[in-house]
Structures are given as structure tokens and as C-alpha cells.
Amino acid sequence: MSKVHSCRDLEIFVYVEDTDFQGIVYHANYLKYFERARSSCLRDLDISQSEEIKAGKVFIIKTINIEFMRPAEIEDNLIISSEIEYLSNARLFFHQQIKRNASDDIICKGKVEVCFYDQKKNKPVAFPKKLLKNL
């Protein structure tokens, strides 16, 4: 049975720069919102990605799947929620969703498979002990 850790929600305001000419959030920006939420979750777990990069280790995305439900629009307040599903010391999934805060409408859902990679050894390795301890 896999373990699940719930992350703190991340709030995002949709600016004009996030949208197309119709005021609808451009689809690639959902990936950015998901990334911000994952980074915030790691920071909350006391994981410094910049320190890991200096050590030659990086978090990499192996797969990502997104299901779009409805569009987010200019000036929406969005809530990005994330859960980490632990599968092994070297593999986990982030289950994420974006909701419109005012109506609780689900905008989209994502499932992101993350691995940890040692650039010096040129291969996947176990996640940082700090992260594993929290999962």
C-alpha cells in the first residue's frame, strides 16, 4: 500500500499575462501552476532544490497527465492542491488539482510522476532522506 502526504494548498491569482486574448488561461500555464505547488510542497518539507542542484541532484518529471475540466479566467483566484503518493525511495506521484476558489469548480487535475536524478552518476537515485522521512 502506498503512503500519501497532503501538501499545503497554494493560492494563485490569474493575471492578464496568464491568459489569451479572450481572458482564458493558456493551457501551458496550468503546468506552471502545478510546478509552483510542487516546489512549495518541497519547501514546506524542508527540501531545498537549489542545494540539491548544487550537489548535482535534481527532481525530474518522468510522466505528466492533465485532464482539463473547464477554463480558468482572468482575475480568478485559484487553489492548487497537491498530494504526494509514495511508491518507492526513487519514485513518487504528485496528484494535483486546480479549483476556482469562488465556486469550488474543478478546473483541471494532474498526475505527475517524479524521480530523483544524480547528474554525476547519470542515473536515478533515492530521494533526499529529509523527504523520505516525511513520507
Q: Give the distance between the most distant pair of CA atoms in the chain.
A: 48
- The CA dihedral of 29, 35, 38, 39, to the nearest 10 degrees, is -130
Grid cell for residue 84:
504526494
Residues in the chain: 135
Pick from 25, 1, 4: nearest CA to 82: 4
Q: Is 46 a catalytic residue?
A: no
Distance between CA atoms of residues 117 and 36, nearest Å: 20
Of 20, 44, 46, 105, the active-site residue reads 20
**Residues recognised as catalytic:** 20
